[in-house]
């Protein structure tokens, strides 16, 4: 068996952590008797600075031929963040109908939560973020620029199809876990889109009488994630709310260096794309000290999606083993190891 994988390391620490993920995934593939055929692409802010585009005109078409995409992170000082987001990530997520952004978190062995006294089983949860529409929209504009009456409008787009499919995905996922779904909205302040989401949530939840369905205001939910995370498991939210919740969920478990993410096309009509939750971290880029675990675990999610569940478990077990031993740890984990040393230790454990 072999799979064609596109690697897009991107910028900053994305490059370092992707190299380690490739190393670990190759070790898992060779142990489990298949091959990953990698093709690397330079789509990045660095490319934008050189050519004026994050990716070439045929970038989407080129990537569409792969079985999966492993993306590092994009973002570079001097290049506005909306360029990297709208020039690469959002077009890919939308062109490939990767409407689920799946962001599981848990407390890994050998690490502690910033929430003192919390056990690992109380902190295991997954954010199901809507990934193709919602608040991330270019509709709107700036009016009366420079005048006293200046104002801006920013529209959000929620379609019935888009909301229903992400909610169904969350309920289906809950059936494989705790059978609990919490939906995050803000229907008291945002009077069109959020009540619409709540209404569809009610409809969909009726099809899942075996799943406990709960609706929360986003502000109350963030407080609860810190104070009482134990009753939370599957959390489903819009594009913006899901993005914010996933950084918080990462922060209360092992930190951003440990949180993987998958941009999933559940129907498998297009490739899915896997990446760490974190960005290109310009503050530590170029020093070789980024934690590669998030990207390696994103790689394990990719193996699962490819149907290589045993190889995915090998990668997760290797990560757990190396973290539990604690001898090789990057600075964010309290150690002195480099990105390369931690990646190599995990590859050796595989």
Q: Which residues bind ligand NAI (CB under 6 A)?
A: 13, 17, 73-75, 81, 84, 89, 256-257, 275, 278-284, 290-291, 294, 332
Q: How far is the CB of 275 from ligand NAI (least distance, A)?
A: 5
- Residue 275 in contact with Mg ion, rule: CB under 5 A: no
Residue position matching structure tokens 């790689």: 299
Please state, in angstroms and rounded to a whole number, the distance separating the CA atoms of residues 31 and 50. Answer: 40
Residue (195 or 286) nearer to ligand NAI, CB: 286
Closer of 21 and 294 to ligand NAI (Cβ): 294
Q: What angle do CA 174, 177, 182 make, to 5 degrees?
A: 40
Give the one residue of 124, 130, 243, 308 binding Mg ion; rule: CB under 5 A.
Answer: 243
Alpha helices in the chain (DSSP H): 13-32, 45-51, 59-64, 81-84, 90-95, 160-175, 193-206, 218-227, 239-252, 293-306, 309-325, 339-349
Angle in degrees, CA 75, 77, 82, rounded to 5? 50
Nearest C-alpha neighbor of 116 from the set 261, 30, 229, 240:
229
CB of 280 to ligand NAI, least distance (A): 4
- The listed partner (Mg ion, ligand NAI, none) that binds 296, CB under 5 to 8 Å by sort, is none
| Residue 127 φ/ψ, nearest 5 degrees | -95, 125
Choose from ligand NAI, Mg ion, none: what does 279 bind? Cβ within 5-8 Å by kind: ligand NAI
> Which of ligand NAI, Mg ion, none lies near 105, with the C-beta cut-off 5 to 8 A by kind?
none
Contact range with Mg ion by CB under 5 A, out of 1-9, 101-109, 235-243, 293-301:
235-243
In the complex with ligand NAI, the residue whose CB is nearer, 82 or 231, is 82
Cα 153 to the chain's mean position, in Å? 28
Q: By the criterion CB under 5 A, which residues form the site for Mg ion?
A: 243
């Amino acid at each position: 068996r072999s799979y064609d994988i596109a690697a897009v390391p991107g910028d900053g620490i994305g490059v370092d952590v992707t190299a380690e993920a490739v190393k670990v995934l190759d070790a898992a593939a060779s142990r489990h008797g298949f091959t990953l055929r990698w093709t690397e692409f330079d789509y990045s802010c660095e490319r934008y600075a050189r050519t004026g585009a994050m990716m070439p005109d045929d970038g989407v078409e080129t990537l569409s031929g792969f079985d999966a995409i492993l993306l590092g992170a994009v973002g570079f000082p001097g290049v506005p963040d909306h360029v990297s987001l709208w020039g690469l990530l959002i077009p890919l997520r939308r062109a490939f109908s990767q409407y689920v952004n799946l962001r599981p978190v848990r407390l890994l062995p050998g690490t502690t939560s910033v929430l003192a006294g919390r056990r690992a089983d109380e902190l295991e949860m997954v954010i199901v973020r809507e990934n193709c529409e919602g608040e991330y929209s270019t509709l709107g504009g700036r009016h009366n620029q420079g005048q006293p009456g200046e104002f801006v409008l920013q529209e959000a787009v929620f379609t019935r199809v888009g909301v229903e499919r992400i909610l169904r995905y969350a309920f289906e996922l809950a059936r494989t876990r705790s059978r609990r779904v919490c939906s995050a909205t803000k229907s008291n302040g945002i009077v069109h889109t959020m009540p619409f989401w709540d209404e569809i949530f009610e409809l969909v939840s009726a099809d899942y009488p075996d799943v406990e369905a709960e609706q929360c205001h986003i502000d109350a939910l963030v407080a609860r994630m810190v104070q009482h995370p134990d009753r939370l498991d599957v959390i489903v939210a819009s594009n913006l709310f899901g993005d914010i919740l996933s950084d918080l969920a990462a922060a209360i478990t092992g930190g951003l260096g440990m949180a993987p993410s998958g941009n999933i096309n559940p129907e498998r009509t297009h490739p899915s794309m896997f990446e760490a939750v974190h960005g290109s971290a310009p503050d530590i880029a170029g020093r070789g000290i980024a934690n590669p675990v998030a990207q390696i675990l994103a790689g394990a999610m990719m193996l699962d999606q490819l149907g290589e569940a045993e190889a995915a478990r090998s990668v997760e077990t290797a990560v757990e083993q190396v973290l539990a031993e604690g001898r090789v740890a990057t600075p964010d984990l309290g150690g002195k190891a480099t990105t390369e040393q931690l990646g190599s230790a995990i590859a050796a454990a595989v």
